[in-house]
Amino acid sequence: TRSTRPQRLLRAVQQKAIKGDPQSVISAIDYFCRHSEWAMNVGDEKGSILDSVVCEVCPTTALELGTYCGYSTVRIARLLPPGTKLITLEFNPAFAAVARQVIEYAGLQNKVCLVEGASGDLIPKMCQMFGIKTFDFVFIDHWKDRYLPDIKLLEECQLLRKGSILLADNVICPGTPEYLEYVRNSPHYESKYFKSHLEYTKVEDGLEKSVFLG
Ligand code: SAM
Ligand code: MG
């Protein structure tokens, strides 16, 4: 049977990137997606905005919703201060299997904990599973209709503290209108749009950065 896109993306990493060098893994994936096959990674252009937010926040506890092949996982994990682990959630076992290999190739397996399962089931277990009290930083990039219910779940489970930063991808394309309307109008958030383009295209898209005010 024919290979899948994530498997071909992994092969591009194994052929082009240097083991243990996260930047070369990122570049190999971006090259593959620009020249061979588009894939739903945050990509290089929005990725540099993601990098600057991660560096600014310098999180001790970090969560990612939606791992896919591990591209954004590698981007975030390579910037984390020593001792910090990124928890990333993915419910598709085939994607998770590829992501594990991409993360390992980048040499970041000790900075990442990939949990297989649905965000709605796993978010309430973060304290029990990892002893997490609150997240300093959450990157939201799973299915677009889950953004709003899952941040409400993070609030309910008291996993956000005053000053926690949410960064949401694809708020314009494919778009997350209910989520945007919520974070932009709720008195519990201060929210800002970072204009950019959909990964590997010229179509407008962007990231929404929202500070939880408590
Ligand atoms: N963040 C990745 C990156 O930039 O490299 C891309 C993630 S991709 C856009 C979205 C992923 O979220 C898919 O792999 C999908 O299987 C996963 N996903 C969607 N809904 C989910 C949920 N409720 N729980 C866990 N994973 C989910
Ligand atoms: Mg995305």
Q: Residue 1 pLDDT more than 90?
A: no
The whole-angstrom separation of Cα 166 and Cα 182 is 13
Q: What is the pLDDT of residue 7?
A: 98
Q: Does residue 144 carry a catalytic annotation?
A: yes
For residue range 56-77, list pLDDT tens digits in order: 999 999 999 999 999 999 999 9
Q: What is the CA radius of gyration of the chain?
A: 16
Q: For a substitution probing ligand 1, which of 78, 91, 151 has the most ligand atoms within 8 Å of its CB?
A: 91
Q: What is the pLDDT of residue 145?
A: 97
Closest ligand 1 atom to residue 150 Cα is 23
The whole-angstrom separation of Cα 114 and Cα 91 is 10
Confirm whether pTM is higher than 0.90: yes
The ipTM estimated for the assembled molecules is: 0.99
138 close to ligand 1 (CB < 6 Angstrom):
no
Closest ligand 1 atom to residue 95 Cα is 14
Q: How far is the CA of 23 from the centre of ligand 1 (A)?
A: 22
For residue range 130-182, list pLDDT tens digits in order: 999 999 999 999 999 999 999 999 999 999 999 999 999 999 999 999 999 99
